[in-house]
Amino acid sequence: MITRRTFAASVVASLLATPSLATTRLPREFRPTEVDVNPELPAGQIHVIKEKYHLFWTLGDGRAKRYGVALGAEGRNYTGVLTIRRKAEWPSWIPTQNMVDLEPELYGDYRGTGLPGGHPRNPLGSRALYLYDGGVDTYYRIHGTPEPETIGRSFSSGCVRLTNEHVAELYEMVPVGTQVFIF
């Protein structure tokens, strides 16, 4: 017997598998494309260039897949080298205490309870890559967004956000243990 949850999950999965309107509405500079990069960069790294709103997944031989991203508001972004230690599909979300403290009108109602994975207002979207500094969770993520119109902008509490379609693609390529350079 098909449950409502199974049906809803299959609808969402089919939507992710088809070309999205979000991709076609993105400015060309933020659509995924393969580009030339420094040939000394090894395959299998992520580089986020904050001032350009781009994430690069290095392919080796001087090539990378480039994605447009959204970032946190000024002063809410990480700079440095982190490691992906965990991955999740349709992750649940609970705001950090810092998010609640800075914007209680936006996040206060979700304190302690958050939102389940797949909820249309869950800010983590369809996939999340959890970034650690050594063995410590930074609470900084690379994740999807239910608001693709924010790609190319700085406006939230932090994190690197891609469209749900693009983060699902990246998620499949990126293994746990990947280094992430954010500058």
Q: What domains can you pick out in the chain, each with its CATH number?
A: 68-182 (2.40.440.10)
> What is the value of pTM for the model shown?
0.85
The burial class, CB within 10 Å (0-12 / 13-18 / 19+), for 123 is buried
In a structure prediction context, what are the per-residue pLDDT tens digits for the chain, which is 183 residues long?
A: 444 544 344 444 444 444 444 555 899 999 999 999 999 999 999 999 999 999 999 999 999 999 999 999 888 899 999 999 999 999 999 999 989 999 999 999 999 999 999 999 999 999 999 999 999 999 999 999 999 999 999 988 889 999 999 999 999 999 999 999 999
User: Rounded to whole angstroms, what are the CA distances from 131 to 19, 78, 79, 127, 134?
Assistant: 28, 10, 12, 13, 9
Q: What is the predicted pLDDT for the residue at 77?
A: 92
